[in-house]
Amino acid sequence: MHPCWCPLFFRRLLSFTTENGFVREGWSVPLLAPALFVHSVMRIEKDRFFFRECNKKRQKDMDNQKTVLVTGGCGFIGANFVRLLNQEKRSWRLINLDKLTYAGNLQNLAGIEEGENYRFVKGDIGDVVLLESLFTEERIDIVVHFAAESHVDRSITGPADFIRTNIVGTFTLLEAARNAWMDDSSRVDAPLFLHVSTDEVYGSLGETGFFSETTPFDPRSPYSASKASSDHLVSAYYHTYGLPTIITNCSNNYGPYQFPEKLIPLIFNNAMQGKKLPVYGDGKNIRDWLYVVDHCQAIVAVLEKGRPGRRYNIGGNNEKQNKDVVRLICDTLDRKVGLLPNGRPRTELITFVSDRLGHDRRYAIDATRISEELGWQPAISFEKGIEKTIDWYLDNREWVAAVVDGSYRDYYRDMYENR
């Protein structure tokens, strides 16, 4: 006999389902399993039909009033996205949900005031009660999900936070959206759940080739494995429940407001102080660099014209070896602020350190799909983007000083000085 027919199990299940209104009083145990099965199937099919009809309305309706829940909107990419929408989508109301961990900073959104079109909520995407209240109070139309633990080095030394936030947090957010958008009393006309992910889920490339949307996943770090898991969850909610989801996978971002644990702001900060410039291994690891505002513009294009159930790769068409990126930053700073006090160029500060565990050799994005289907192309070359980024950091040295606090110094010492 199948264990699901255990009499004790069914008596408890019958009690629970009767109390919660799923079945009627007096139904016998043998009728319960088929009744629950039919109830579940009917509910899923009803919701799939609803979401299909919503998708037909969405593209026609993107210029009208929308309420957008942005998770992680005080982080690097999230803050740039909130700033872009605040400028270009004035009719949209933005709800910024951020836990304000070490990489989340309210100063990233200085100048954006709370009001009719913007609300900040400090909270965790794993907080079921908070999410339920936000979806009910605000009648969320769109979710743009940035919130994630995202630094590979931190995932190697402490993977638990990555599992908790990137996998369990994404699941909790998906459930909140599904429950809210399937509730007859709080449905919205054209919901959409956009999940922002990374090219690191695809693994590592050799000297040739590109990641496409059909490249099999092959994550190599706890970070990329957690993001691959969340991608699978988002895709499953589309195929199982018909939840209107889209996934984007981007290459390495750079630009204003990036926390200085990442390569470009780390090198800038050290080079300005005359400190050693740590470069992993032989420095020949290759990344495709994407200016953050280009990435945000791509996300807007996906919101406006993307197809639910679809995945879109977003790349910058700028493949660079890490050591060449570091040299470019050094040369740019030498030109803009002068040589070091001893008259030597900053490239002499470059120091090769032992390589990161599981360090992927090369990433490269094939962004043909988003170009052909949505008409998006990156507008900023890497050389121009580096100029803009360095100018921003030079103009905002107080911001850098404020985020490089004691906890960051401890992290930096563990990651680089002791290698």
Structure tokens that stand for 50 in this block: 């609803």
What CA–CA distances, in Å, run from 287 to 213, 267, 364? 17, 16, 7
Provide φ and ψ at 96, rounded to 5°.
-100, 110
Please report, for the chain, how many H helices and E strands are present, in that order. Answer: 15, 12
Could you confirm whether 200 is annotated as catalytic? yes
Could you confirm whether 61 is annotated as catalytic? no
CB 96 within 8 A of CB 109: yes
Structure tokens that stand for 133 in this block: 């209240």
CB 44 within 8 A of CB 37: no
Could you confirm whether 223 is annotated as catalytic? yes
27: exposed, middle or buried (C-beta count within 10 Å: 0-12, 13-18, 19+)?
middle
Reference 286, options 360, 187, 224; nearest CA is: 360
Reference 5, options 37, 40, 35, 30; nearest CA is: 30
207: exposed, middle or buried (C-beta count within 10 Å: 0-12, 13-18, 19+)?
exposed
Provide φ and ψ at 339, rounded to 5°.
-70, 175
CB 17 within 8 A of CB 23: yes
CB 69 within 8 A of CB 95: yes
CB neighbours of residue 283 within 10 Å: 16
Please pick, among 200, 231, 288, 360, the residue that the annotation labels catalytic.
Answer: 200
Contacts of residue 228, Cβ cutoff 8 Å, sequence gap at least 6: 201, 217, 219
Please pick, among 223, 238, 291, 412, the residue that the annotation labels catalytic.
Answer: 223
Residue that the structure tokens 């690097």 belong to: 76
Please pick, among 199, 294, 319, 366, the residue that the annotation labels catalytic.
Answer: 199
Reference 296, options 262, 250, 365; nearest CA is: 250
Residue that the structure tokens 């999940």 belong to: 195
Which residues have a catalytic role annotated? 199-200, 223
